[in-house]
Amino acid sequence: MAAPTRSSNPAAAAALVAGLLAVAALPVAVAVAQVSSRVKLTQAAAGAPVAAVLGLVALLLARRARRRSERTLGRAGSEGVARAGRVLGVLGLCLAASAAIAIGFYGLLVHYQ
């Protein structure tokens, strides 16, 4: 049986990609709202659940990558990539939560005005 190479932890790379997409979901939604005449800024709030789901996926994949690295006694490698994916996943969740709070307050202000 061949020993795994230093780059045999695909969950770490997937966690990094999911984390990057989670962080980019809201700015992309706002940019689409600014460029498009068919999408309003309030409709860009649909990027919040996308960011939340991608953030959770990044966290789960980072956990899987970390456990694989522990199981292989570090031979699977990519601990730093998994850590970056976890940090970006948490950041994506924080952005999604702040967007949800902001759109909630906006809805309250519009409703009681």
Write out pLDDT tens, residues 67-103: 988 888 777 678 889 999 999 999 999 999 999 999 9
pTM, two decimals, is: 0.85
19-20-26-29 Cα dihedral, nearest 10 degrees: -130
- Packing angle, helices 47-71 and 79-111, rounded to 10: 160
113: DSSP letter: -
CA-to-CA distance for 99 and 96, rounded, in angstroms? 5
The C-alpha angle with vertex 103 and arms to 109 and 89, in degrees rounded to 5, equals 155
The confidence score (pLDDT) of residue 53 equals 97
Q: Give the range among 8-12, 25-29, 54-58, 82-86 with minimum mean pLDDT.
A: 8-12
